[in-house]
Copies of this chain bind each other. A is one copy, B any other.
Amino acid sequence: MNLREKFLKLKNDAGSHSPSINSVLKQIPEIKIEVDACFLSNPYATKLFIEELKTDLFETNEIEKVLEYYPSQSPQIAKYLSKDLQIDSERIFIGNGAIEVIQAFLHNFVDGKIIIPIPTFSSYYEYIINENDVIFYKLKKEDDFRFDVHDYIEFVKANKPNTIVLINPNNPNGYYINESEVDYLLENLSFVENVIIDESFVHFAYEDSDLVQKSCVRFIEKYPNLNIIKSMSKDFGIAGIRAGYGIFSKDKVSKLMKNGFLWNINGLAEYFFKKYSNLEFIEKYELVRKKYIVETQYFQEKLQNLKNVKIYPSKANFVLIEILNGKSSEEIAINLLLDYGVYVRNCDDKIGLKGEFIRVASRSKEENVIILRALENVLNF
């Protein structure tokens, strides 16, 4: 097999998700990846966290205790987050990555139909045990996959689901529903048993020039049917640690904790959550969060100059790009990878995304220059 074939096989084996850069490097070591623009994380936050971790754990040898001993039970860890979120810790469900939170919610609390907008993060429909329960709400290409609040409310009213899911900003297109619209939505959807809002990318969204952090956590008391799910892998760039959480009703959290989930957090994730409750760390984090957003804005502007593509508006740290030069997204993605070492997400397996699409993450300033140059070359060819 040549490199191209090897890569296609690897992608095929990974199902509806991209093989991680670790898998690619391990299984096809001949491929040289220069920039991983598939992985949706803030590289400056990773750098900050790893520096802190080296100081706190490696230099002191504390790491040995972190690896050897049992971490705290998860209700203990929820207390760290409680402070920052200003939410009662009994409403916080700590997960081994947001994916465990998604799984726990879908397997325990979805009782009937669930509406999921597409295109979106596929686990939400893949983890539903009975696939017949899923109703897709199709975001329209002709509307640039924008989310129309009124149209959506009508759709929900017509379908009477038990649960609805919104990822805000949405993946893979980065469309952001702003806070006042979320408020309006929730106001009009009080008849739905469970509203899940997944805010895994919300640290990259903004509504003003100060780039103040947004979140619908502020609506948690106002709307009893609101459930929030959040990954920490994207904003903090620490996917290898597996850290996420959910904010549910006390009843839901205690139901989950009654028969499980007591030691689902590893030692490094506990260290992360503890760090996250530390004001000094969060001040440093805010600096790299804003720096990254500003650079991502600049990157998106530059992308607008590319020929033979359509760039979809995004308030996340990635951009959905439609290829208009007659080539397939697979061809473009493989060219980028094999000729320029730039790994992007070919979206040809995304349900609800018909056409030739790739998703490109914003990385560091220097890496974004490499991504832009590679895209220019590949698209003009």
Contacts and interface: CB of A to CB of B under 8 A. Distances in A.
Tally of this chain's copies: 2
Contact of A67 (B17, B21, B72, B241): B241
Contacts of A123: 262
B46 A76 contact: no
A170 to B, nearest CB: 20
A26 B49 CA distance: 22
Given A240-B267, A266-B242, A71 B20 contact: yes
Contacts of A265: 242
B268 A233 contact: no
A233 B99 contact: no
Interface stretch (A124-132, A142-150, A188-196, A304-312): A124-132
A326 interface: no
A285 to B, nearest CB: 15
A297 interface: no
Interface stretch (A58-66, A172-180, A208-216, A217-225): A58-66
A61 to B, nearest CB: 9
A70 B22 contact: yes
A68 B96 contact: no
Contacts of A23: 72-73, 76
A254 interface: no
Given A76-B23, A126-B259, A262-B99, A69 B267 contact: no
B97 A68 contact: no
Contact of A266 (B21, B107, B269): B269
Contacts of A76: 23
A260 B259 CA distance: 18
A37 B257 CA distance: 27
29 contacts: A17-B262, A20-B71, A20-B72, A22-B69, A22-B71, A23-B73, A26-B72, A39-B69, A39-B70, A41-B68, A46-B64, A50-B67, A50-B68, A67-B240, A68-B238, A69-B240, A70-B239, A70-B240, A96-B100, A96-B242, A96-B264, A99-B262, A103-B261, A106-B259, A127-B259, A127-B260, A241-B266, A242-B265, A266-B268
Return the 8 tightest CB-CB contacts between A and B, nearest first. Answer: A240-B267, A20-B70, A103-B260, A70-B239, A67-B240, A242-B266, A46-B68, A127-B259
Interface of A: 14, 17, 20-23, 26, 36, 39, 41, 46, 49-50, 53, 58, 63-73, 76, 96-97, 99-100, 103, 106-107, 123, 126-129, 233, 237-242, 259-270
